[in-house]
Amino acid sequence: MTTTTENTAVTGAVGSARTRVEGRDKVTGAARYAGEIPFAELAHGWLVLSTVTRGRIRSVEDGPVRDMPGVLTVLHHGNAPRVDTGYMGFLGRPNPVVGLFQHDRVPFMGWPVALVVAETSEQAREAAEALEVRYEEEAHDVGFTAGHPGTYTPDAASMSDADTAKGDLAARLREAAFVVDEEYFTPEEHHNSMEPHAATARWEGGRLEVVDSNQGTFWVASELASLFSLDPGSVRVRSEHVGGGFGSKGLAPHQVAAVMATTLLHRPVRVVLTRRQMFSLVGFRSPTAQRVKLGADTDGRLRAFDHEALSLTSTVHEFVEASAGVGRVMYDADAHGTRHRLVRLDVPTPTWMRAPGEAPGSFAVESAVDELAEKCGLDPIELRARNEPAVGPVSGLPFARRSLLACFEEGARRFGWAGRDPRPGLRREGRWLLGTGMAAATFSAGVGASTAAVTAEPDGHFTVRINASDIGTGARTAMVSVAADALRVGPDRIRVRIGDSDLGPAWIAGGSMGTRSWAWAVRLAADELRELLALGGSIPPEGITARSDTSEAIGALAQKERHSYGAQFAEAAVDITTGEVRVRRLLGIFAAGTVVNPLTARSQLVGGMTWGLSMALHEEAVRDPASGGYVNADLAGYHVAAHADVPHIEADWVDDHDPEDPVGIKGLGEIGIVGVAAAIANAVWHATGVRHRRLPIRPDRVLAAAEQARGRAREDDRGA
Ligand code: MOS
């Protein structure tokens, strides 16, 4: 796009580091989040969750609780208003967990069974904890295992095919000079956004108004309208500041509970989830059991690629963690198979979580490719370079621009990869064994339809209205830069309004598609406004507004494989006495199109890589098979990498300009996590000579694996 280049030349806002527009408000506490905005007459709702894993509610003994101080009402399946969960929403059918109190069945531990509303949050909590709910319990199954007898093939895998297949896998594997056939396991992981989900709902002038924390106000508003059978125009959702989402902040029980209660009580009602409640109410990343088979020629060229991924879902809703999607765009072979399998258990429904599919999928594939490099006696970068596909391995489509090799090259140079001795277990520093590892990363560069409006104000400012969501990413600031360049004015003349469903439809902060999608709409509106202003004349008090809608433009996008890429490098130290793994260095080099704001872009990437480290070494939700509930549903038991766990992380990018791309900007919210766990696991292998195919790489697993390896060595000695 020539206009883009011209614009950049004019103000240079895109590509320049800018601190967040709302940064000062955030660090001084002036920025208010959904759970802390004051309302007159505010009442507080507290959810009561099931304490059994499967069964029926026999009774909700709400009588005594209704007499407790401050209690206004108790909602449950015996008295709650009916809602419609049969609609088709923005991303498919709603998760039945949002159909609050519609029946007496309990499908998992932590299912919402009642809402207590009181004058204060403390009174609501006190009463909720006193509420006695009686159940008829049934036997449950929460055990996720490879080969579970309930395994089935889903119709589709998260907006793509469940399975793909070409060629004769068995034959190509038989002929291969080198074969890797291994299983990889990742545990259940949780989003754990810093800010818990919170919503305040009220009726105002005949409209339902919800102040919420979400990844898309138009999305949540349209779902609430469908669920409560309301005219979409009569629902307004606002979400000014959001303390993280990572895929968990769409429609969830808290908004629905607040809307039900405000409708009954005729006063504003707030519902905030506790950290513990988030574990069962807002989704999570399914555990996975993945089998990868690779067959290669003597020169390392893949002849067979096969990836089967098992994940779990609940008994009430289907969600597939699309881990086997990675190979569909990364590695080609004469015979190529990718398959998703599911098992239904008595657990909450998983959902999208930062790099859904790619995060666990890349752990399996990028570990297996490292194992293949070891067998072939090739450097892992060289092996990958030899297997760069000419076209999409499954789609057959050309790549718009595939900058993976450039990432490897720059990454290898910066990390000091050259001259690495490939043999494992050689470097030692006192009780620490040291090793390095790498992995490739990719994430699709999608785009979603959005509308925008740009107004030239009489005071010389421009107001940009785009229903973006800033979930901590710096979206608001990015839109200032994009608009400044598109309008060819300084950023100080741009005001941006986001996070309000009244601004109209726009893509959500999801799928790493936000900035790309919103920027396109803002540019189209800005271009039109410049044309209007070029006609001359004075600006009326209400300003001059141009609007855009990218629905048609995105339909015309040429059919190509469009992705971001990355190369992840890790150095790990393994304490042979305790089994502790310390990551000493992480370097990620990415190709993600035009980088709008290097400051916030780097934060996003470093944040993603920190997630990857956390996934490799720490995160793991543990379920008690006897009760069916979590044993670590809090941040004490579920360890997310803390400051002391995280080494110096470097993230940077290479030029990824694609003159044919209509936006030029790609996403980088998710790619930062992709491949990191594999890079670390590969580094741990390089340090110790032991492969870890099960995450997280805990000290007890490191010690047990070392013990096993010693046992094998002793047997070999005896056998010799
Ligand atoms: Mo992300 S999992 O697309 O919010």
Residues with catalytic function: 670
CA of 587 to the centre of ligand 1 (A): 23
CA of 611 to the centre of ligand 1 (A): 13
Ligand 1 atom having least distance to the Cα of 513: 3
Ligand 1 atom having least distance to the Cα of 511: 3
Percent of the chain with pLDDT over 90: 95
- pLDDT number for residue 558: 76
CA of 652 to the centre of ligand 1 (A): 22
Ligand 1 atom having least distance to the Cα of 352: 2
CA 365 from centre of chain: 19
**DSSP notation for 59-98:** EEE-HHHHTSTTEEEEEETTTPPP----S-BTTBSPPGGG
Q: When comparing pLDDT for 99 and 11, which is higher? A: 99
Question: pLDDT per residue over 342-400, tens digit each?
Answer: 999 999 999 999 999 999 999 999 999 999 999 999 999 999 999 999 999 999 999 99
Name the residue with the closest Cα to ligand 1, atom 4.
247
By most ligand atoms within 8 Å of CB, the mutation choice from 197, 214, 352 for ligand 1 is 352
CA of 355 to the centre of ligand 1 (A): 7
CA of 20 to the centre of ligand 1 (A): 21
Percent of the chain with pLDDT over 70: 98
Average pLDDT, the chain: 96
Average pLDDT over residues 506-527: 98
CB of 514 within 6 A of ligand 1: the answer is no
Residue found by looking up tokens 């879902």 in the block: 313
- pLDDT number for residue 155: 94
List alpha helices for 81-213, DSSP H.
Answer: 121-130, 169-175
Ligand 1 atom having least distance to the Cα of 215: 4
Going across the sheet that includes 335-344, the strands are: 163-166, 335-344, 302-313, 288-296, 178-186
With 80 as the cut, is the pLDDT of residue 5 above it? no
Question: pLDDT per residue over 315-348, tens digit each?
Answer: 999 999 999 999 999 999 999 999 999 999 999 9
With 90 as the cut, is the pLDDT of residue 6 above it? no
Q: What is the DSSP letter of 660?
A: T
Average pLDDT over residues 598-625: 98
CB of 357 within 6 A of ligand 1: the answer is no
CB of 507 within 6 A of ligand 1: the answer is no
Q: What is the 3-class SS of 238-258, one letter each residue?
A: ECCCCCCCCCCCCCCHHHHHH
Average pLDDT over residues 83-108: 97
By most ligand atoms within 8 Å of CB, the mutation choice from 670, 671, 674 for ligand 1 is 670
C-alpha–C-alpha distance, residues 307 and 305, integer Å: 7
- pLDDT number for residue 311: 98
Residue found by looking up tokens 């896998």 in the block: 169
With 70 as the cut, is the pLDDT of residue 27 above it? yes
CB of 353 within 6 A of ligand 1: the answer is yes
Tokens representing 587 are 């370097």
Evaluate the omega torsion of the peptide bond into residue 69 and state whether it is cis, within 30 degrees of 0: no
CB of 518 within 6 A of ligand 1: the answer is no
Secondary structure element (H or E) that encloses residue 613, with its range? helix 598-617
**Can you tell me whether residue 181 is helix, strand or coil?**
strand
Question: pLDDT per residue over 153-173, tens digit each?
Answer: 999 988 899 999 999 999 999
Q: When comparing pLDDT for 460 and 716, which is higher? A: 460
Structural domains for the chain = 4-31+447-557 (3.30.365.10), 40-139+191-281 (3.30.365.10), 145-153+162-187+285-388 (3.30.365.10), 398-445+562-720 (3.30.365.10)
Average pLDDT over residues 115-129: 98
User: φ and ψ at 688, to 5 degrees?
Assistant: -110, -20
Going across the sheet that includes 71-76, the strands are: 71-76, 112-118, 43-49, 269-272, 198-204, 207-212, 235-238
CB of 249 within 6 A of ligand 1: the answer is no
- pLDDT number for residue 557: 82
- pLDDT number for residue 2: 34
Ligand 1 atom having least distance to the Cα of 351: 2
- pLDDT number for residue 587: 98
CA of 512 to the centre of ligand 1 (A): 7
User: φ and ψ at 68, to 5 degrees?
Assistant: -75, 155
- Other C-beta atoms lying within 10 Å of the C-beta of residue 86: 10
CB of 554 within 6 A of ligand 1: the answer is no
Confidence of residue 535 (pLDDT cuts 50, 70, 90): very high
Average pLDDT over residues 172-197: 98
Confidence of residue 10 (pLDDT cuts 50, 70, 90): low
Ligand 1 atom having least distance to the Cα of 355: 2
HSE on the CB side for 298, CA within 13 Å?
0
CB 154, CB 324: distance < 8 Å? no
Average pLDDT over residues 288-293: 98
CB of 246 within 6 A of ligand 1: the answer is yes
Spell out the residues 6+ positions from residue 396 whose beta carbon is closer than 8 angstroms to its own.
Answer: none
C-alpha–C-alpha distance, residues 303 and 483, integer Å: 48
Residue found by looking up tokens 């609940």 in the block: 314
Question: pLDDT per residue over 543-594, tens digit each?
Answer: 999 999 999 999 878 789 999 999 999 999 999 999 999 999 999 999 999 9
Global pTM value: 0.97
CB 470, CB 509: distance < 8 Å? yes
Average pLDDT over residues 226-235: 98
Q: What is the DSSP letter of 482?
A: H
Average pLDDT over residues 79-83: 98
- pLDDT number for residue 217: 98
CA 338 from centre of chain: 22
CA of 51 to the centre of ligand 1 (A): 29
With 50 as the cut, is the pLDDT of residue 20 above it? yes
CB of 472 within 6 A of ligand 1: the answer is no
